[in-house]
Amino acid sequence: MTRHSITLALILISTCAAASAQETRRIPRPDGVTTAAVYAPTGVCRGIAVLSHGAGGSEKGLAYLAAHLRDGGYLAIVPGHALSGRAALRAHIPQGRLRGAVKEGLSGLVTDADAYRDRFADIQAARDWGKARCRSGFSVLIGHSMGAATTMLLAGADNRLGLDTRIAFDAYIALSPQGAGHIFPANAWRGIRAPVYSLTGTEDAEIDADWTSRLQPYRNMTPGCKWQGVVEGGNHRDFGGGGTAAETALITGSIDAFLAGVRSGKCAGGYRGAGIRVETK
């Protein structure tokens, strides 16, 4: 197994829990339940945030961001996507060989249409459950890695997987979004009209491409409350919760600014911070 494959596996399988969820809930969906980590604000609920973890993750993932949003007044919900969790990733990894096996397993999972359909059902259930418990009508979907692909799909991106589900949120945030490849064709994002923030870093490589491929979604989207942030030196793990305090502050701070812009209808303000470059259109 190459060093790159080992690093990639550790990044995507890791479920960084920088903070503890207030509670774990079994949220009903039409065909059963989804287990979710729920972070409830102590005061007035300003909106709901549904967070979608990466391949091989669980409801314990993205805890740093869920806790931050909770502290900002959001009801944050992290569903555990069973068909793209750790067991599912292991099932996609070819047995009997080491070289390239992890990479092949990841590629297989992130292009599994049924895994995305399962994610969509989880997200719809979490959204509906949250809206019944928060008087604010505002909602945001946030995803990392495979969760970023999930976010873009639900926002309206074209795809190669035969998926056409859309779930309406007021804003979408994609951490480590994918460029054109096995999931998305060229120009997949030009039809997205909702506010979107795409966030990546200069060390945030894709499975089969360097980090600059993650800039394609923003460049392809039409203007209208679209943001792109690039963290200098930021890698894939940082966006999942493994970054330094300074990197985490840039991620959460820019997300706060984006959400404030969406809520106020003044998206052009952007965000400034040493170590991050934010573009808007």
Q: Which domains does the chain have, with CATH numbers?
A: 3-280 (3.40.50.1820)
pTM above 0.85, yes or no: yes
φ, ψ (nearest 5 deg) of residue 76: -100, 130
Tell me if residue 113 falls in helix, strand or coil: helix
- Segments in the chain below pLDDT 70: 1-21, 96-99
Residue 208: predicted pLDDT = 86
Residue 113 has what pLDDT?
98
* Per-residue model confidence as pLDDT tens digits over 141-185: 999 999 999 999 999 999 999 999 999 999 999 999 999 999 999
Report the distance separating Cα 56 and Cα 37, nearest Å: 16
| Residue 228: closest CA among 246, 264, 204 | 204
- Cα 108 to Cα 89, 104, 115, distances in angstroms: 9, 6, 10
The confidence score (pLDDT) of residue 207 equals: 87
Instruction: Give the CA distances from residue 240 to residues 61, 129, 176, 194, 204, in Å, rounded to whole numbers and listed in that order.
Output: 7, 24, 9, 24, 11
- 3/167 Cα distance (integer angstroms): 38
The whole-angstrom separation of Cα 209 and Cα 230 is 16
Q: What is the predicted pLDDT for the residue at 99?
A: 65
Residue indicated by tokens 């080992």: 6
